[in-house]
Amino acid sequence: MLMTTRRRLHTTLIALAICGLLPMGAALPAAAEPLWTESQGASVPSELARLNELMHALAERLKPALVQVRVRRPAEPASEGTAPHPTPDEPRRTSGSGFVIRQDGYIVTNAHVVADAERIQVRLADGRRFDARLIGQDNRVDLALIKIEATGLPVAALGDSNRLRVGEFVLALGHPFGLEQTVSFGIVSRKGAPLQVAAPGFDFIQTDAAVNPGNSGGPLVNMAGEVVGVNSMAARNGSIGFAIPVNLVKGLLPQLAEKGKVEWGWLGVTIAEVDEDQAPKYGLTEPRGVLIRQVVAGQPADQGGVKADDVVLAVDGTLLEGPRDLQRIISSTPVGRTVTLKVLRSGKEQELSVTVGAYQGPGVSRVPRRSPAPPRPHP
């Protein structure tokens, strides 16, 4: 039997050689060399191992409170002169992120995520889906509060963004590009960056943790696992992200919950910084305060006697270094409250009482009231 098997093998090898598949006299190929080298159990340095464990545990702890926000908007009508859309009646669908702040279903996200939505759906980390209703939104800071009908939900704890320092490690959580439960790592690269011209003087958090489309509304978290910001905007390549400071969020949420909007205070003026060259002109020994460029007729500043070319030095005793200080103080002052402005007019200090009004938005009629022109001599 053994001889028969050997003969068959010999006959097969001869046949392969005749067909050109095996050179005559060649031996059977030896075992192939491995294509890679297996690690022999290399270990991570202990300091990095502890950091790895911290980051993993932190991400796992935070993910349950992270949600995906899916939005359906009405179809856009075709513009005149453009080619018709293949499906003109098809609604537009987008998605963003958010996080649960209360066990009974209150969720924070961005205003631009849910703007003009005809339906909002929330997908929880455990896969459950709920329809959500909009409780309130503010477009100036890009913040929105929505709610789902659920109980016992895991929540994200809010921290203190004022204690956040440049250079600290942070995590950005969200659902970029529709991907689920994504975590990116970076540092706080800057504080004090306004997102847009309309933003009322508050400091936004800049980070190099990757923030991409779909991350909007997700939390920015410190190494203690506390939410310190709400991711809102990013550079086009995602290399720089901006987040709304959580202390500002905490100040706005009660108004969103009660009124559905934020009533920002305003004076009705256009303002500018006093530079070194201008300081002597206004009677200042050094550049400080806020220059009033124009006063909107009929608005709070005008009614309180503020005039163009006044320099506001303080509000209720709080000294002003520049325009953003005035913006921040007035915008966060309750509408209807009277404040005392210390102004410098024609080199003399005086105090004016002004009742803070409600911010009217970009649509308000801004007819400026300038300082009266000096009388022209008769010809």
pLDDT digit string (tens) for 4-41? 445 554 555 444 444 444 454 455 555 688 899 998 88
Which pLDDT does position 197 carry in this prediction? 46
- DSSP assignment string, 36-95: S---------HHHHHHHHHHHHHHHHHGGGEEEEEEEEPPPPPPTTSPPPSSTTPPEEEE
What average pLDDT does this structure show over 220-224?
Answer: 96
Read off the amino acid at residue 104.
D
What average pLDDT does this structure show over 266-287?
Answer: 90
Structure tokens at 65: 């409170």
Q: Which residue, among 363, 343, 362, 364, has the nearest Cα to 352 in the 3D structure?
A: 343
The dihedral region occupied by 55, where left means phi > 0, alpha psi between -120 and 50, and beta the remainder, is alpha
Contact between residue 269 and residue 259 where contact means Cβ atoms under 8 Å apart: no
Which pLDDT does position 84 carry in this prediction? 53
Calculate the dihedral angle through the C-alpha atoms of 341, 346, 347, 348, rounding to the nearest 10 degrees: -50
What average pLDDT does this structure show over 330-359?
Answer: 94
What SS3 class is residue 133? Answer: strand
What average pLDDT does this structure show over 351-355?
Answer: 96
Which pLDDT does position 340 carry in this prediction? 97
What domains sit in the chain, N to C, each tagged with a CATH number?
60-76+91-259 (2.40.10.120), 265-369 (2.30.42.10)
- At residue 323, φ and ψ (nearest 5 deg) are -60, -40
117 DSSP 8-state letter: -
Which pLDDT does position 214 carry in this prediction? 84
The number of beta carbons lying within 10 Å of the beta carbon of residue 94 is 18
More confident site: 338 or 367: 338
3-state secondary structure 261-316: CCCCEECCEEEEECCCCCHHHHCCCCCCCEEEEEEECCCHHHHCCCCCCCEEEEEC
Element at 109 (helix H, strand E): strand 106-109
What SS3 class is residue 13? Answer: helix
- Percent of the chain scored above 70 by pLDDT? 79
Residue 240 banded pLDDT, cuts 50, 70, 90: confident
Q: What is the pTM of this model?
A: 0.78
- What average pLDDT does the chain have? 84
Which pLDDT does position 204 carry in this prediction? 87
Residue 202 banded pLDDT, cuts 50, 70, 90: confident
Residue 375 banded pLDDT, cuts 50, 70, 90: very low
Residue 367 has pLDDT above 60, yes or no: no
Q: Which residue, among 266, 212, 222, 263, has the nearest Cα to 242 in the 3D structure?
A: 212
Structure tokens at 120: 């909002």
- DSSP assignment string, 182-251: EEEEEEEEEE---SSTTS-SPPPEEE-S---TT-TTPEEEETTS-EEEEEEEE-TTSSSEEEEEHHHHHH
| Enzyme catalytic residues | 112, 142, 216
